Amino acid sequence: MPVMSLRRWINRLSGGRLLPPRPVVAVLRLEGLIASRGGMGRRNLSLPALADQIERAFELPGLAAVALAINSPAVRRRNRR
């Protein structure tokens, strides 16, 4: 017999009326250089490159938040004299 969580059991008995649904949080995992435009590399992060993914995240039913997990390497600029 499968084990049912207390939350699921209460929801089943009450028809879902006693406990509010858990909040939905979309997580966008982003990797690459942050750029204002697409740039030369395929792994650059820019609005045009990510627009569809961002739109889909905000369309989730019951959405409470969107979290961004960003892994972007630091780029050193050369001192220009």
Residue 68: predicted pLDDT: 93
Residue 1: predicted pLDDT: 47
Specify the pTM: 0.58
Task: Tell me the CB-side half-sphere exposure of residue 25, using CA atoms within 13 A.
Answer: 7
- Who contacts 4 (Cβ-Cβ below 8 Å, separation ≥6)? 12
Q: What is the pLDDT of residues 8-22, one digit of tens each?
A: 777 778 776 776 777
Q: What is the pLDDT of residues 48-80, one digit of tens each?
A: 888 999 999 999 988 999 999 999 887 666 666
52 close to 28: Cβ distance less than 8 angstroms: no
Residue 79: predicted pLDDT: 64
